[in-house]
Structure 1
Amino acid sequence: MKELSASLGEIVNTVGLRGDIKLLPGPDFWWEALDSGVVDVVSDNVRRRITVDHFRARGSTVVIKLAEVSTIDEAEALVGSTLEVSLDEVADEFLPDFLLPCQTMGLRVKLPDGSVLGEVVDLLLGPEQNVLVVEGNDEKYLIPDVSEIVVSVDLEGESMEIDPPRGLLDLRW
């Protein structure tokens, strides 16, 4: 199985003079990732391991105090970077009980008869449900990411099985 990193979001600003940062959460964000205490700051393909001291919600953003950042100048240098966590390194107690978008990308999509429909190439985030964009057979299919359709997911085998209702695969994007 390939190593997965979840992008928690983008550092968009600083807060205060003591080096707090403001994170705009991304699709892979979940609170327990910050509880794990260690994240990676990624900028220009350079990854730096850093410790989360504490954090709090602020509107639609998250204010985070990083242990290694103590001045506004150090925090300003991080603006534009992303925060990531390696899912292989996160303790089980902090892993989410739902699939993250980064985990669904690249999965083979199988039908109940065992045939392969294609591969998940994108995820459209919706207010009520996400929609998987599956590419295969020179077509793109939009598959709602709901338990009635997505029957099972095998992360080790990098595949998922869907049981689409009649007519769903006739709709193409």
Structure 2
Amino acid sequence: MSAAPNDPTDTVVVGRIGRPHGVGGEVTVEVRTDDPDLRFATGAVLRTDPADRGPLTVAGRRWHREVLLLAFEGVGSREAAEELRNTELHVPVAELPALEDPDVFYDHQLVGLAAHLPDGTELGTVDAVRHEGADLLVVRRVEGGELLVPFVTAIVPTVDLAGGSLVVDPPEGLLDL
């Protein structure tokens, strides 16, 4: 049984299709990868969520100002491009290059980790990673609600992927609701 196309253990999101561009089937793409030239190269096959919209094969790529425009095989009209709006584009985790810096992580590696205080008290589980100027871990708290934790070494000094956890050493006030 294979994992769902958006299962974080199987694939990672590299982009989201936006509005159509022009009448020939091109779409704008919200890029969510550090290497768009590799991920969106002509001929690249991307999984989709919802799954019934793909897979999609990149037929062309170009930048229009700061916006990535993609053309896909079989999508030749504005109407066909509009049907793809809000589709997430995924690649298999197995295709990601290994990270050489031991203090750098892919988002999917952090999601699902148990978050603990330095004394071992359980805080909750990492639900997501946000990139809003600074990297923030979204921790679903044990007692309910969510906590945004800046993902910096001073506050998250330990990440143990093999052990499935990380340590949050919060500054005063971070845990206050």
Please, what TM-score do these two structures have when normalized by structure 1?
Answer: 0.70
With over 3 angstroms needed to count, the CA separation of the structure-2 counterparts of 1:40 and 1:168, relative to structure 1, is same
Amino acid in the other structure paired with 1:84: H
Residue in structure 2 matched with residue 11 of structure 1 by the alignment: 17
Deviations 1:13-66 (A, max 9, x none): 2234443221133xx4332433492211323x5362222244233345310122
Structure-2 change in CA distance of 1:117 and 1:65 (3 Å): same
Unpaired runs of 5+ residues, structure 2, are 1-7
Aligned counterpart, 2:176: 172
Distance 1:141 1:172 in 2: 9
Q: Pick the aligned partner of 1:130 from 113, 123, 135.
A: 135
1:38·1:49 contact (CA, 8 Å) conserved in 2? yes
Q: CA deviation at 1:81?
A: 2.1
Task: Name the CA distance, whole Å, in 1 between partners of 2:158 and 2:130.
Answer: 19
RMSD of Structure 2 on Structure 1 (CA): 3.2
Q: Does 1:112 align with 2:113?
A: no
Answer 1 or 2: higher relative contact order, Cα 8 Å, separation at least 6. 1
Please give the secondary structure, in 1, of the residue aligned with 2:55: strand
**Aligned counterpart, 2:3:** none
Alignment match, 2:165: 159
AA aligned to 2:97 is: D
Aligned to 2:45: 38
Classify 1:153/1:34 alpha carbon distance in 2 versus 1 (closer, same or farther; 3 Å): farther
In the aligned structure 1, how far is the partner of 2:40 from the partner of 2:71? 11
TM-score norm. by structure 2 comes to 0.69
- Answer yes or no: is the 8 Å Cα contact 2:9–2:108 preserved in 1: no
**Does residue 1:29 correspond to 2:36, yes or no?**
no
| Paired residues of 1:123 and 1:132 also in contact (CA < 8 A) | yes
Q: Percent identity?
A: 28
How far is the alpha carbon of 1:70 from its aligned partner?
4.8
In 2, the alpha carbon distance for the partners of 1:54 and 1:64 equals: 6
Show the counterpart of 1:63: 69
